[in-house]
Structure 1
Amino acid sequence: MSGSNTPLTSLSEFSKELSPAVRYTPSIVLLGMRGVGKSTLAVMASAALRYRYVDLERCVSQATGLAESAFIQKHSLSEYRAREYEIIRRALELNTHGCILVLSASCVDHRDTVLLLVEYGRAHPVIHIECEESRILNYIRYDGLFEKGCNLVQTKFQHYKQCLNFDYFNLQSMLDLDESNRSTRDTSGVNVLALKAAETDFIRFLSFIVAGTPFAHTGAHILAPELTSHSCAVQLPFPEVIEMEILVGQMTVGADAIEVVVDVVRLLEYGMPTRSVDEYVARVRRSSPVPVILTLGFELATPLSPTDIDRLKVVYFNLLNSGIRLAVDYLSVDLRLAYDSPFIRGEEGYFLLNEISSNSCNTKIIGSYAAHNASVGFWKSTVPIEVCGLAEDLGCDIVRISKEAEEFGENFAVVEFLTSATLRSSDSMLITAFNTGELGRLSKVFNPALTPVKPSIGSPHPFLAAQASAGQVLAGKKPLFCVAPSDISARDLQLALHAAFVTPKLHFYIMGLSIAGSLSPLMHNAAYAVLGLPHHHQCYQTSDVADLQMLIRSPGFGGCGISMPFKLQAIDYVDEVSEHVRRIGALNTIVAARGADVRAPARLLGENTDWLGIQKIVLENISPINAVTEAKTALVLGAGGMARASLYALISLGFRKIFLYNRTEENARDLAAHFNRQSPLRFGRAFPQLHHFEIVVLRDLALARDAPPVGFSWPTVIVHCIPGKDSDGALVNFELPEVWFDSPAGGVFMETGNDPLCSRVLIRARTFASRGWVAVNGLGFLHAQAIAQFRMQTGKLAPSLVMKELLTKHFLAGQ
């Protein structure tokens, strides 16, 4: 049995056979108050991950024959809790793998159930779902004083924390608050885009806690920032900058990670609850796909009373534990806590830091040490080496040491330290070190990874515009205890790397038969400029695939996009192809991988971003009601290289039945046979899934006029891959019968071509918007695959908005 949107509610169903796809993945428990969205998240995760959804509250009602309130009234509260405990115990025993179990809001009121969940959490994620207090109060129709209601909710939140190992903050999106925009709501009034954002974020969260990477459920080839040479992390100070959910993506352009820097002292001064940090981290994580670093710092500008110090210590370590429960990608701990200070005794600090590191799950620990008031000879002293030894003893994954430079020569001293320290340390811990201040900028060029940078200066956020950068928010004050504000941006760092001859200028190409009008150079060159990369992208039009060898051997070759008709032949010109290319049988991207030494001979890797682009468009536009199940089908039009990628994308999404139509039926049958003999295919690392499927070739689109073929439903996804023009440049006259838009819940129609931008089929698809159909032109696909290609070839997250605006302006200018 595979995942289902319909929850199991009967005890007799617990023993049903699980799908082999999820038989060995740990079950997940969700608990929380009413109104936080547990059931909605469970439905979405069940559909996306093929997990069995078990609603334990309904199971209890089904077993007792009464709702909770009715049973308590007829019998007693203690008897209900005892019955509930036995049912939960049995459910947890029988559902150890491949299930999402949703518990009732009141289950933690029974001590035995709490102990049961604590024990279950030793081997399984037990996740507390929380949200804004106002949403819960509205849901339960609370009519008392708002402040009192919030306090009651927060008290209940703390009650849940005694039996969980993870926290998920289920944000209310700004999209869901906008009542004026009805176009994004389905027939029940639910905002589809808001649900899609929640689904994407929650699946990313689950992937991280299960597999240690937020992208394990996708086919994206994304390296962790500490493995990316000269990566950087943009610093966002909290609580100075807090109202910027929509603008995080713009402020973090060019960054490989986001570092949320929390000033714990100021947090207490403002009287802000620690939950405000949880919510802020959740907003940042939902607003950007890059990893999040949570850094906790504190200023002791004036001596504190013993009571205030104790309070500060409790809040600081509570926030560290909260960071682990939130499953942040990185948690920065202050190594100074392991030394005696007015804040804490060194022995106690070492013990607490060691406990944090030992229970960090998949969160990586950064041991930070800011050498305040250190002498010029700091880097040549024994202190940095001792700090590295301390970090290694504590089990840190990364150590980060910084010092404000007083002399320019300290930049070379830190390079000497990095060289010697790296040779001494084990390979399991990355050592990063740099100077701060105006005289220390050069050292950041040589820092190996996760260099702190300030937000993009061009950010339109009024607060940042007034301050020029978030780094200047802290100017004039003592730096935070464990981190100093950066004075360079991600773009500044890239420009400096090239000026220092660290990053060479690379040349990228798009190669094909008729690509003179390709928009790839326009997008890629604009992206290079925004990020400060010195590279160049250009078209290479040819009729001979052998010319690819000349490009590969040319000086500074960085990579190449492959267009028709060379997507199959180009496989012979690379050193290695991905599993995706082997399955699809075609590539569209060549990556020149050089590793840490960018000037070493490149190893040529063959990849395919077409399928990632198609997958992205479908995921972004399909409504939750059309989540892929065994009954859902899709339709692919065409049998060329793009149709190959489309079929593979749809298989990866879980479609078991896919129609395929091509005007030359023989080509369609060959393509269907290529995939059908591979069934089933396994996808995913965090949630490995065996996808069984069948590609069914249609001889005539007009044959199914009144009902879909036996055993099928009408498709909810249609991918149009037939070229809009023939070899002579004449428009192709292709019609798709209206019957193929008969899905009762609508669906997604997308085109992979953009010449013409609006084909006759696309125009027809748009007329079915009232039936729930979303029609996406070829620009959406072009943009989506270009983003994936850019990241594979440069290792940097593409400035998506810039590339999208360029495409839109280009086509508007041509109309």
Structure 2
Amino acid sequence: MSAPKNERALNPNASIVLVGCRGAGKRTLGFMGALHLRRRLVTEDHYFEKVTGLSRGQFISQNGKEAFARQNIDVFKRMLDSNRTDCIIECGMSSFTEEAQNALRAYSRTHPIVYIHREREQISLLLDAADADQLLKADEKHRGCSNLEYYNLFDSSKHTSLPASGAGTPMDGRQAGPSKLLSAREDFTKFLGLITGRGATRAWLESPFSVGAIPPEFRSYSYALRLRLSYLVDMDLEWEDLEARGDCVELIIDHWPDDLLNVVANQVALIRRKMGVPIIYHVEENPRGERRRSAAEKDSMDSELLELGLRLGVDYVSLDLQRDEAFVDRVLRHKGRSKIIGNYWHMGFGAVPWVDERHVENYQRAQALGCDIVRIVRFCTGDSTVEVCEEFKRRVQQTLPDPKPPLVAYDFSVLGARTPLQSRILNPVKHPDMENERDHLATVCTCTTSFEDLFRQFLLDPLQFYVLGSNVSYSLSPAMQSAAYDFSGMPHTFQAITCSTLDSLNQICISDSFGGGCLTAPFKVAIMPHLKVMSHHATAIGAVNVLLPLRGQTNAILDHANSRNKSGRARDFFGDNTDWSAILTCLRRAISPRNYVQPSRTTGLVVGAGGMARAAIYALIQLGCRNIFIHNRTARNAVEVASHFNQWAAAQGITTSSKGNGPPTEICRVLPSLLDPWPPGYQLPTMVISCVPATSVDGNPPADFEMPFDWLRSPTGGVVVELAYEPLVTPLVAQMQIFRENVSPSWVIVDGLEVVGEMAIEAFELMTGRMAPKKLMKDVGRRTWEHQQQGQQQQRVLSYSSSDIVQ
């Protein structure tokens, strides 16, 4: 027995073709995908004009419709044939014709053909009422000529403008309409990472401790939140309630509603957008409540549903290996980049005991078929002890040849999966408030209670985490991190400790209970020569803001990553930088479609030259900006930072066209004076990031930076990100509020609390290896800041009262 050939293991450099109805968003997604993958975007309209020298309308006018039809299909085929690699190809209306669809079917043997679709009612709004039904019905034929599909979920969220806010007041409506394209961009680029096979690899190489870098099956412990389709179509929880409730979601297709394929595609898109975790796609063999069907009819529907999961590019497809061999073979041949979980379900009384050799044989069959994970689950009525299951897993591990796919094996009963949970990985869990009587595998366990049990069993250890620096007394991190620990079932502590020397830092870090630290000034750059291992990002930036102990028993990074939440002597330390990614997230969320980054034209301005400024510059580079200006009080420091990134960019092959006085490879330039006019030949900045403290630090005066009025004349506005939050309304924020109200409402202000919340979320995930409860952490951060402001106000009142008494 051998694994069937994977017919969809396509060349990752093969051009990606987008097909679908007008209004589905192909052009926008194509543009986003081309920028993300650094590929050339080819559109059907432009290619037709390039080949014929005429627009479509001009060609029809001069040659007639019949000649156009013949020419159009010839150009269509030539477009595919001439752009076989490193392109994103956006197809227009030609893909509705039978001849074009035949060409696409042939092309799909070697290339990804992605069917883009979305809610029918959203597309109908963009079409003539008379044409909508006919066009949408014809659009469904795109499933037959494509091998992948992406559901372009409509973003119905409402965004409010920034209200006028007084000094010392949190800006709850702090952003003026974050771009609705942000979510689509994040979803689609992740989808591209999945179908090209480069997403997880890239995340691992850049930062191996990030949550997305380690698949759930290779983590120390992982949990699969079970969500049934029958529940999701009319669920009684909000999506935000499901956040961080599992390391992945197992979507169980247990219900066949009308328009089934589109309903399932919609739910996959919602899980990706709302939860941001890997998806296990499982088609239940006997859906409850469905009418009786013939074996052939049911097999056909199951096959179509599993094919849909593979087309949607889900992370994992759950495949019952007890089914017909032809059925199993068909799924394995079409797996593409999705991983296959090979299942053996032993249901009902008299289930095969763990000592039976058939379990080993089943594992060997799954291994031979090329399954990426093997899952064996049996119904238990008290006839089996935990030790028997553990002995079976040891037998598989010690006696079978490598490579061995990860094994998930556990007992369950009418009360749910056995607790304490028998499996380390992909344990079935539920939301604590979810009413779902039909799910007998996860009626008891939740991710939080299961993780708490690991500490009670001393498999994991309570640790101490810190924010460390010379001015951390007002830090919001302890409150945010402590709230996240409570939510996740971890008995860790988090403290803010003021220290300013490497010796004092070392005394804290060498403790066996040190879990990790968030570093502020003066450690971000000073710590780097003392670290042997750093992430790609920290090395590029030249600054570290997160320090982690390495406690693995081997030198393998995965071993170290899976030793988080365990105490002991640190073999070494790992440095990472999350400042840049927090800034990047805020920029992406706030930037408008009109200001979408164009590498050769878009301009950014960074104020400051410290560790945060380095992170801001790196964020702009990662966003695609190639014209970055730096202003700092001490020009010498700005020149040093600019030189660092220009040298790094040159080494990476990141260049920009020559403008002004700089050489072609210079992407960072220094603005020595605020009195100078904006440099000629460059667009006015549409992204401004202030990285200077708003309060006095180390005896230096507090920042009082404001933008020169002439530098704010961007006709499309832009984004101002203020990193300081003490006070929240800095001189720059106050200036921009007035400017928005009186001059240009197109500017968006992102305050320091928004940025610090993103930083805390990134740090939590790096230091614990667990998904962060993002909304909770941000809410706690805001409330803590408000309490601090109230306390400071009371102190001022008491101070004034004492002064009056003395007088």
TM more than 0.5: yes
Aligned mates of 2:489, 2:509 — CA distance in 1: 24
Cα displacement (A) at 1:756 = 1.5
Cα displacement (A) at 1:523 = 0.9
Corresponding residue number in structure 1 for 2:800:
none
Aligned mates of 2:611, 2:649 — CA distance in 1: 19
- State whether residues 297 and 334 of structure 1, in contact with CA within 8 Å, keep that contact through their aligned partners in structure 2: no
Matched, 1:431 2:407: yes
Cα displacement (A) at 1:663 = 0.5
Aligned mates of 1:449, 1:683 — CA distance in 2: 41
Corresponding residue number in structure 2 for 1:6:
none
Matched, 1:137 2:137: no
Corresponding residue number in structure 1 for 2:317:
331
Corresponding residue number in structure 1 for 2:642:
672
Aligned mates of 1:24, 1:681 — CA distance in 2: 25
- State whether residues 779 and 807 of structure 1, in contact with CA within 8 Å, keep that contact through their aligned partners in structure 2: yes
- State whether residues 369 and 402 of structure 1, in contact with CA within 8 Å, keep that contact through their aligned partners in structure 2: yes
Q: Percent identity?
A: 29
Corresponding residue number in structure 2 for 1:125:
112
C-alpha offsets along residues 333-375 of structure 1, whole Å, 9 cap, x if unaligned?
12221xxxxxxxxxxx222212312321111111122210253
Matched residue of 1:427: which SS? Answer: coil
- State whether residues 591 and 793 of structure 1, in contact with CA within 8 Å, keep that contact through their aligned partners in structure 2: yes
Which sits farther off after the overlay, 551-560 or 571-580? 571-580
- State whether residues 12 and 197 of structure 2, in contact with CA within 8 Å, keep that contact through their aligned partners in structure 1: no
- State whether residues 511 and 569 of structure 2, in contact with CA within 8 Å, keep that contact through their aligned partners in structure 1: no
RMSD: 3.0
Matched, 1:232 2:223: yes
Matched residue of 1:591: which SS? Answer: strand
Cα displacement (A) at 1:257 = 0.7
Which sits farther off after the overlay, 593-602 or 606-615? 593-602
Which of 433, 449, 452 does residue 495 from structure 1 map onto?
452
Q: For residue 581 of structure 2, what is the amino acid of its counterpart?
A: L
Q: For residue 704 of structure 2, what is the amino acid of its counterpart?
A: N
Corresponding residue number in structure 2 for 1:613:
582
Structure 1 gaps of 5+ residues are: 1-22, 185-189, 338-348, 458-467, 685-690
C-alpha offsets along residues 182-228 of structure 1, whole Å, 9 cap, x if unaligned?
889xxxxx976322211221111112211353684895632111121
Cα displacement (A) at 1:66 = 6.4
Which sits farther off after the overlay, 308-317 or 421-430? 421-430
Corresponding residue number in structure 1 for 2:41:
53
Matched residue of 2:460: which SS? Answer: coil
Which of 138, 141, 151 does residue 156 from structure 1 map onto?
138
C-alpha offsets along residues 46-91 of structure 1, whole Å, 9 cap, x if unaligned?
3444432222134325655666578668767664343223222332
Matched, 1:383 2:383: no
Cα displacement (A) at 1:397 = 0.4
- State whether residues 21 and 136 of structure 2, in contact with CA within 8 Å, keep that contact through their aligned partners in structure 1: no
- 5 Å-filtered alignment, 1:69-218, equals 79-111=67-99, 113-143=100-130, 152=134, 155-175=137-157, 193-213=179-199, 216=202
Matched, 1:648 2:624: no
Corresponding residue number in structure 2 for 1:319:
305
Relative distance call for 1:91 and 1:632 in structure 2 (3 A) is: same
Corresponding residue number in structure 1 for 2:169:
none
Relative distance call for 1:542 and 1:432 in structure 2 (3 A) is: same
TM-score, length basis structure 1: 0.84
Corresponding residue number in structure 1 for 2:592:
623
- State whether residues 283 and 302 of structure 2, in contact with CA within 8 Å, keep that contact through their aligned partners in structure 1: yes
Which of 679, 685, 697 does residue 670 from structure 2 map onto?
697
Which sits farther off after the overlay, 608-617 or 534-543? 534-543
Corresponding residue number in structure 2 for 1:473:
437
Relative distance call for 1:644 and 1:66 in structure 2 (3 A) is: closer
Q: For residue 469 of structure 1, what is the amino acid of its counterpart?
A: M
Matched residue of 2:244: which SS? Answer: coil
Which of 240, 261, 279 does residue 292 from structure 1 map onto?
279
Which of 654, 662, 670 does residue 632 from structure 2 map onto?
662
Aligned mates of 1:692, 1:756 — CA distance in 2: 38
Instruction: Give the paired residue count.
Output: 735
Aligned mates of 2:771, 2:422 — CA distance in 1: 21
Aligned mates of 2:45, 2:266 — CA distance in 1: 28
Matched residue of 2:754: which SS? Answer: helix
Aligned mates of 1:183, 1:105 — CA distance in 2: 41
Cα displacement (A) at 1:681 = 5.6
- State whether residues 704 and 732 of structure 2, in contact with CA within 8 Å, keep that contact through their aligned partners in structure 1: no
Aligned mates of 1:96, 1:215 — CA distance in 2: 24
Q: For residue 144 of structure 2, what is the amino acid of its counterpart?
A: Q
Q: For residue 694 of structure 1, what is the amino acid of its counterpart?
A: I
C-alpha offsets along residues 87-139 of structure 1, whole Å, 9 cap, x if unaligned?
2233223323332211122334132x334323433333211111122233332
Relative distance call for 1:735 and 1:782 in structure 2 (3 A) is: same
Cα displacement (A) at 1:311 = 1.8
Structure 2 gaps of 5+ residues are: 1-10, 164-175, 553-558, 655-663, 791-807
- 5 Å-filtered alignment, 1:408-487, equals 409-423=384-398, 424=400, 426-437=402-413, 441-442=417-418, 445-455=421-431, 457=432, 468-470=433-435, 472-474=436-438, 484-487=441-444
Matched, 1:592 2:557: no
Matched residue of 2:496: which SS? Answer: strand
Corresponding residue number in structure 1 for 2:519:
562
Aligned mates of 2:511, 2:377 — CA distance in 1: 40
Matched residue of 2:581: which SS? Answer: helix
Cα displacement (A) at 1:731 = 4.1
Aligned mates of 1:303, 1:41 — CA distance in 2: 37
Aligned mates of 2:287, 2:77 — CA distance in 1: 49
Matched, 1:524 2:481: yes
Cα displacement (A) at 1:651 = 1.4
Matched residue of 2:445: which SS? Answer: coil
Aligned mates of 2:198, 2:738 — CA distance in 1: 44
